[in-house]
Chains A and B, each alone.
Chain A
């Protein structure tokens, strides 16, 4: 019974081959055990809430910024005045890892009580972990705009705080150098082509573009869409009836390829990061135009800091006169806050979201961080940057962005295909066939 002195020792020195076989057996056994019906961990199991006990945890990617410090302080004091004794903790996550971290938290069924979301695909893909808010935020409906970006199947899952839109910003100094009228930005694609030829001749890039992560195509599709699609086609796209083989969609992807081949952009766009390399180039005067944002980054305020009075802005050019006579600023809900399903006191969490969307806090977000607020009642006249005033005046005619209507999976595919189009590895027709198959 008792092992001999030499027994375990000799058995312990196994041949390497047997050791490897043993290691190889582990996954095989695991497969068998799973095949026998072993249960997988369920997501959204709840029970991991960090709330209760008088504390709410909020995840975002902004509370660490100096420019939004006042916004968070105002939201916090507004909430704490209504709920004394309840602690609020803002956890700033790095933006480029935000959805990965949140995804992991969701898989674990643990995480914050409230999360910040971009409108569109990223939030819609995670609604199974969010509370529907329609019956709780009725009093906000009229004051705030941009709700569509935070809805799925007619239920609202987050409260908009800022708006997101894609205006065309331009540098008047670059226009002047190219012999163009700096006060008359292009209104049509033909005018834009003439403008680009002149800017290129003057030694600058016509547009600054960064497509390292494939984000350039999103800005291109949503930026040029209003000038290509007829109003009916635009609405159909947003409603999910997308015809990828239509001449208009083909026109946009053809234009993407053609503008690159014609040398509109800075060189090496597939290896240039959009954030912040592309926008740094524009701020540094190394480009005539850029499709920028109106939400929390790469917007009028950040460009104004460098370009000052040279900063101009215009709406998407009319690219398809057969379909479109005038265009609009594509804009919708930018960032918003959703309440996670596992929070222990949903009413309390919704109250904090309301404080985060309060007019006083939103006004500070607009003035200090430059994000166009989702709150209609925020007075924007205190800011004397001309571009900001123009953007605000275009908002009532806006329609949501084209790319945010797509799923994260289709967007990811579009990113990769847009890079392959620029590299010349695929044709526009192949791209459209693949996207149509993905967007079913």
Chain B
């Protein structure tokens, strides 16, 4: 009676000690990452949220409730910035379709695909400031693009100075500058594609569009989902450099995006609490957009 009980106890003890070691090891390995995430992400986020409820200038440090959020709601520039986020949302399918299509061509090994693969990726390594400066020259009123239009008998367009065109110019340049990264992700997705499924489709006599629709897209659903979310996040947070260099938010505030608004409000306008409120709005916006995208795309890319 005694012996088996002892044996059971010792086995449990060994397992306990064993588990403890595993746990400690896991904790030790995870702690540095956790500290960095908590210290550099979560704490600033909480501080930012807290700061957004305080005043600026004479009311610095005082609790003002949601006053900053009300100010944002009344600010036409911030409203334009948020409206432009909507425009980014509309441009998103283009930003995903361009690398998707090009990746398909590369996957199908069009002539010169090796060369194009590196050419398409090249803009990703350039700084937005350089890209902005190059396009400032290309798109300037007396620049090469307008000269080309002139030769074709068309009127010149003030690509960066017309309030209705400027935001589209900046978004276009952003898509050009960043699609290389999405292309690489698509290429990685293509490399995991099950070749037997493609062969089966071919044997069944499926056309190319049918193959793409019924085999490629469902197979790449996770990749497409990932590219959608990362491209949107990139658009919401990575266009500052281009806006700053290409239009400075103008003309008439037409190219403001939330992150540019945050920067101007904090630095130029000396209103950090209001800027914190704007950054909280951007954070929530990104959270909602990300959630909505994951849900929508999951449904859209599911094989019926």
Contacts and interface: CB of A to CB of B under 8 A. Distances in A.
Contact of B251 (A40, A273, A420): A420
A239 interface: no
A425 B263 CA distance: 25
B160 A100 contact: no
Contacts of B166: 271
A409 B57 CA distance: 13
Contacts of B23: 3, 8
Interface string B249-292: 01111000000000110111110110000001001100100110
B243 to A, nearest CB: 12
B262 to A, nearest CB: 11
A341 B76 CA distance: 35
The number of chain A residues touching the other chain, given as a range, is: 35 or more
A164 interface: no
A126 B57 CA distance: 9
Interface stretch (A20-28, A196-204, A247-255, A324-332): A20-28
A408 B161 CA distance: 23
Given A408-B268, A412-B268, A34 B273 contact: no
B123 to A, nearest CB: 22
B280 A213 contact: no
Given A27-B49, A40-B273, A420 B268 contact: no
Interface centre among A125, A268, A419 (most CB of B within 10 A): A268
B172 interface: no
Given A107-B272, A214-B250, A270-B251, A423 B163 contact: yes
B270 A103 contact: yes
Contact of B248 (A23, A97, A99, A212): A212
A5 interface: yes
Contact of A40 (B60, B162, B284): B60
A419 B252 contact: yes
A416 B283 contact: no
B151 to A, nearest CB: 17
Contact of B50 (A5, A40, A97, A422): A40
Interface centre among A415, A423, A425 (most CB of B within 10 A): A423
Interface centre among A2, A41, A409, A419 (most CB of B within 10 A): A419
Given A40-B60, A40-B61, A213 B19 contact: no
**Interface secondary structure of A, over-half rule:** helix
Nearest to A24: B287
A158 interface: no
Interface residues of B, number: 56
Contacts of B19: 2-3, 5
B269 A268 contact: no
A419 B158 CA distance: 13
B220 to A, nearest CB: 19
A326 B221 CA distance: 75
A12 B105 CA distance: 40
B294 interface: yes
A97 B294 CA distance: 38
B250 A213 contact: yes
Contact of A412 (B15, B53, B139, B269): B269
Interface centre among A43, A213, A270 (most CB of B within 10 A): A270
B228 interface: no
A33 interface: yes
A16 B294 contact: yes
Contact of B60 (A8, A43, A97, A408): A43
Contacts of A35: 53, 63, 65
B270 A39 contact: no
Interface string A40-65: 11110000000000000000000000
B250 A212 contact: yes
B77 A40 contact: no
A13 interface: no
B226 to A, nearest CB: 13
B51 interface: yes
Given A100-B268, A271-B140, A412-B268, A420 B252 contact: yes
Given A3-B19, A5-B19, A212-B247, A103 B287 contact: no
A84 interface: no
Interface of A: 2-3, 5, 8, 16, 20, 23-24, 26-27, 29-31, 33-35, 37-43, 97, 99-101, 103-104, 106-107, 125-126, 211-214, 267-273, 408-409, 412, 415-417, 419-420, 422-423, 425-426
Q: Top 7 A-B pairs ranked by shortest CB distance?
A: A268-B141, A100-B267, A30-B49, A271-B161, A270-B161, A420-B252, A40-B54
